[in-house]
Chain A
């Protein structure tokens, strides 16, 4: 009988921790935080708001990718990690039969550079605005890599990349495609920086996920992609299977556009859905990569959801303490980190944690080695969007 489990055969990543998997892994293992002073993005809040910025200008990224410097930053970052992902999977772009891409920023970082001149009635490069809409990013990427498909964009705020993974998994399961590229990217922009600042949920210092003293999140940027195939298909072409996507669940919190319900209703339901899809009980989960944004509301809500789903909450962490909150890309970054955790039996710490919110519930605070079988990764977004994914160690059946 064909093995229809869903294999991950390629990963690629950029973040403030590094421009590939090895650099990210090194930073995670050595506790090197990517959050710091804003250098590339030019904002009047540059001195007061720390961000997890990738320390390459668009010009440098353009040279690395062969794209134009006016390309949306998210696309430049995505192009770097898609290249790594395809190479790791030993695939060409033309092997990709479906491409699910998560973004919220799209080309807005380029649009916002044109707006001051536009408002003054000065000369504007209208070509730039053609890259504004989110769908254009996937279109550029599928063309650049000569993919054998039309890219499809999901935009569900901070769960976008996680939902791209979910959609890819469902497509593989339903037999609609054999080789799928999934993930997401968001570059820093004035639009999102000022948007989150106006919501008053940005910490002026380094963020403190799951800490009683947390004041808010730090924005970050990055991209992360995975190749999904059925195990049967992967083995058939001799690919190395890095891990499995074994469960997924998406729900709506149905509470508020920007705030999570205090009980974490949607989050809890998403986790239960993912566990059911993976045919696992909560006791089977050995580690959780939490959403853990470090906002007062999110972390409290997520802890309540975890308490409702798990009799004993497994060791959990927020890698956003390293990468900042990379918005649409976050679910992709954390999927890659989950794969690395499974591969190397490592749990990466939540940096700077000191004071539990309650009941001595503490995240992992140092690099910890353990035989990990199943990892739950949470991603929640505006609009009450809640997604949970289960990644599992690959064992031949």
Chain B
């Protein structure tokens, strides 16, 4: 049986005319982005991160290619399979001519996208910078990953998306500040004292055994994917607001390096 995820009503924030052709990643990513954007004119850059891009379209195009023996394949799936489709779509929908970049680095994707977003927010401190991350999953791709020798098969692979507006200038309505974002070796990570934080949210499926009991195992609730640390950050902010935490940390990455992300109240 395939794991199920309940989708939000995407039509709340996306024009239904555009929805028909959108892949799951586009629907999730655009929806997440539209939830955080208040004024499109104020967005200076759009930075996206995705581990596998629109993998449903990649799979569709590859299978059609084989089934049709390279004859009569149609371009839609090919067009959407490009990794920067989400960032490009947001550029079009927001009529945004600013910086528009897509990062893809397996479990470190969100780390590099966030690093770029922080860099851009320092370069244009008076502007807002949209960071959006996400990955989709299909039954077919999930089956392939399960067979892969180094796939992370302990936790179900599930779709996820997240979006954030970043600015270097502290604004009155700012909620949270990124304090640090580093890639640490596991031995460096093991020297950290996670008890300094109100909470620790884990999105790294390889760390399970190393973590104390009070860590929220986000990946056990959500399933895993390359950009899950982005979703864990969004989840952390939501919970932290409700529970009035002052600081928390998010753990991403894989068995070699941990994306250690610390966040505090602005």
| Chain A contacts to B: CB under 8 angstroms | 43-45, 104, 108, 111-112, 115-116, 118-119, 124, 126-127, 129-130, 133-136, 138-139, 150-157, 163, 167, 170-171, 174, 190-191, 194-195, 197-199, 250-258, 265-266, 269, 381-385
Contacts and interface: CB of A to CB of B under 8 A. Distances in A.
B147 interface: yes
A194 B70 contact: yes
A136 B52 CA distance: 11
Given A198-B73, A251-B99, A252-B91, A383 B104 contact: no
Contact of A104 (B83, B95, B105, B119): B83
Contacts of B257: 150
Query: Would you list the 8 A-B pairs with minimal beta carbon distance, nearest first?
Result: A383-B88, A195-B78, A252-B91, A155-B83, A135-B106, A252-B100, A198-B75, A135-B105
B101 A250 contact: yes
B198 interface: no
Given A153-B105, A190-B65, A384 B149 contact: no
Contacts of A155: 53, 82-84, 102-104
Given A133-B104, A156-B84, A384-B100, A167 B116 contact: yes
25 contacts: A108-B58, A112-B65, A112-B66, A126-B144, A126-B147, A127-B149, A129-B145, A133-B51, A133-B52, A133-B106, A135-B51, A135-B108, A150-B105, A153-B104, A155-B84, A157-B84, A163-B101, A191-B61, A198-B75, A199-B75, A254-B91, A255-B92, A258-B79, A269-B97, A385-B84
B69 interface: yes
Interface string B164-192: 00000000000000000001000000000
Interface residues of B, number: 60
A170 to B, nearest CB: 6
Contacts of B88: 252, 257, 382-385
B116 to A, nearest CB: 7
A163 B51 CA distance: 18
A252 B88 CA distance: 7
Contact of A385 (B100, B105, B109, B144): B100
B148 interface: yes
A383 B103 contact: no
B211 to A, nearest CB: 22
Contacts of A136: 106
B69 A254 contact: no
A157 to B, nearest CB: 5
B64 to A, nearest CB: 9
Contacts of A126: 144, 147-149
Contact of A130 (B63, B80, B102, B150): B150
B151 interface: yes
Given A155-B104, A384-B92, A257 B79 contact: yes
Contacts of B62: 108, 111-112, 115, 191
A104 B82 contact: yes
B46 interface: yes
A199 B61 CA distance: 13
B66 A383 contact: no
Contact of A384 (B65, B91, B112): B91
Contact of A383 (B97, B99, B100, B147): B100
Contacts of A252: 46, 87-88, 91-92, 96-100
Nearest to B76: A198
A119 B63 contact: yes
A130 B105 contact: no
Contacts of A266: 97
A264 to B, nearest CB: 12
Given A383-B89, A385-B87, 20 more contacts: A116-B66, A119-B66, A139-B105, A139-B106, A150-B183, A154-B101, A156-B87, A156-B101, A163-B101, A198-B75, A250-B101, A251-B98, A252-B98, A252-B99, A257-B79, A257-B80, A257-B82, A257-B92, A382-B85, A383-B82
Contacts of B91: 252-254, 383-384
Nearest to B253: A150
Given A135-B106, A135-B109, A199-B75, A44 B85 contact: no
Contact of B105 (A116, A151, A383): A151
Contacts of B69: 44
A15 B214 CA distance: 54
Given A112-B62, A198-B75, A254 B95 contact: yes
Contacts of B53: 134, 155
A117 to B, nearest CB: 10
Contacts of A195: 61, 73, 75, 78-79, 81
Contacts of B87: 156, 252, 383, 385
Contact of B148 (A127, A174, A251): A127
A192 to B, nearest CB: 8
B12 interface: no
B4 interface: no
Contact of B89 (A111, A130, A257): A257
Contacts of A139: 105-106
A119 B80 CA distance: 22
Contacts of A133: 51-52, 104, 106, 226
B2 interface: no
B6 interface: no
Contact of B104 (A134, A150, A269): A134
B65 A134 contact: no
B38 interface: no
B67 interface: yes
Contacts of B183: 150
Contacts of B73: 194-195, 197-198
B103 A154 contact: yes
A119 B67 CA distance: 9
B71 interface: yes
B63 A383 contact: no
A255 B149 CA distance: 42
